[in-house]
Each structure stands twice: as C-alpha cells, then as structure tokens.
Amino acid sequence: MSKFENKNNEEVPKDFFIKFGEKMKDKILEEEIFNVEDFPLLHSIKKEEDFHTPESYFEKINYRNYIKVRKSKLLVPVISIAASLLIISSIFLFKQQSKVSNEVFAMNDETQFELLVQESIFSDDIEIEELDFLFESSNSEMDLTEFDTDVIINYLLEESELYDLALVY
C-alpha cells in the first residue's frame, strides 16, 4: 500500500479527486497574468450602469418581432420576383396583341383579311364577335393605354399564374 493512500477509511465524495483536478485546471486557466494592483485606476472604477435603455425596452422585445421581421424580409424578394414576372408577362402579352393587331390592320381589303383568318393566326372556330372587335378597332389605333389600367392588370392577373402572389402584394 502506498503511503499516500487512505489508511483511515475516511469517506470523500465519489470522484472527488478526479473532479478536484479538473476544478484546479479550470481555476488556473482563469488566473490573470497580471495583478489587479498593476492597474489601480482601472480596477477602482465602479462598474456602474452608465448606459440606459428607453423605458420598458426589454419588455417590448418579443420573439414574435423577429419572426415578423424575418417573414417580411422574405416577402420582399417574393414580391419583387412576382412584380418582375408581372411586368415581363404584361409586356409580352402587349407585344403579342400589338403584333396581331398590326398584322390585321395592315390589310386594307377584306380579301386579305379573310386570307389571314384562313391561313394561320386564328383558328377556324374563332368567334365572330372577336373578329368584329378587331375589325372595328382597325379604324382607330389599337392602343392599350386607352383602356383603364386596372382593367388590364386584373385581366392579366387572372390569366396568369401570378394571381395568388399578386393578391399577397
């Protein structure tokens, strides 16, 4: 038996010596490499609460604030994408309609128009009302800006997949 071993059978808490070693290691780790007296001015300054916050500042901080902020931050790119897609699709649809109407209006006589109908742009089952509409419009310049903007936007929205996104917007 080693002369350092417990000869008196005195009890110590379980793992006391193992934990003691760890405790000492942590304590040494936290020791400063200087003495407090080396910096007397710094260490004699009281750590008073010199900073304040607006009244009830901490009470007003709620986890929901951050969830909301995050959601609204996420919404911005979604709305931007939706708006961009809406503009692009509006331009595309506008161009398509202009192209059709330009081609239609470029024809001066009825024969050419009938030919066009037969050939390709419109299918055989095209509604008479739609043809009339185009025909009448040939007298005045087909200008979408003459229509109410809201009506056009609503039409485009209803026709496009962006409708749900635009509702959020």
Partner 1 sequence: MNKEDTEILDLLKSSNSFEQGFNKLVSKYKQPLYWHIRRMVLIHEDADDILQNVFIKVYKSIGKFKRQSKLFTWLYRIASNESISFLNKKRSLQNYSANLRSSLKADPYFNGDNIQLALKEAIEELPKKQKQVFILRYYDELNYKDMAEILDTSVGSLKASYHHASKKIEEYLIQMDVKV
Q: Which residues bind partner 1 (CB under 8 A)?
A: 26, 29-30, 32-34, 38-42, 44-45, 47-48, 50-54, 57-58, 61-63, 65-67, 69-70, 73
Nearer to partner 1, 14 or 52 (CB): 52
Helical (H) or strand (E) element with 118: helix 110-119
Residue 25 Cβ, how far from partner 1 at the closest point, in Å? 10
Residue 24 Cβ, how far from partner 1 at the closest point, in Å? 14
Nearer to partner 1, 50 or 129 (CB): 50
Quote the CA–CA distance of 105 and 119 in Å, as a whole number.
Answer: 16
Residue 27 Cβ, how far from partner 1 at the closest point, in Å? 10
Quote the CA–CA distance of 169 and 80 in Å, as a whole number.
Answer: 9
Cα three-residue angle 115-119-124, rounded to 5 degrees: 100
Residue 63 CB coordination number (10 Å): 7
